[in-house]
Amino acid sequence: MSYQQEELHLKKLFSWYEDYFSALYNYGCKINNDKELVKDCIQDVFIYLRVNPQLIADIRNPKTYLYTALRHKILQEIKKQTNINAYKFGLEHSEKEMPFEATLVVE
């Protein structure tokens, strides 16, 4: 990638960040009320685009792309946290000690 192309991609990326951050943040908070998680996920989406600048040229509708990418990232993080919490819960309690309700949640 030439220096001019990289500069153009960076300008687009900064423009998208300025144009969409607030809307993405509000959208993300509707999916998950953990505001720091939402901010981290927005940053991850933009970092991913920065590391993979060839994707920027292919994005025809940045709003749609960013909303979809953010939704997937938040859901991925929720799933990761759920798996970690279930694992920790399993370490703290053997299956015999778990109340019936907890068994339903973990499984």
Over the stretch 53-82, which tens digit does the pLDDT of each residue have?
889 989 999 999 999 999 999 999 998 887
Output b/e per residue, 34-67; b: 16+ Cβ within 10 A: beebbeebbebbbeebeeebeebeeeeebeebbb
At 107 the pLDDT is 44
87 versus 53: which is more confidently predicted? 53
At 104 the pLDDT is 45
Handedness of CA 52, 56, 60, 62 (dihedral sign): positive
86 versus 68: which is more confidently predicted? 68
Give tens-digit pLDDT for 11-46. Answer: 999 999 999 999 999 999 999 999 999 999 999 999
Could you give the CA distance from residue 96 to residue 72 in angstroms, rounded to a whole number?
36
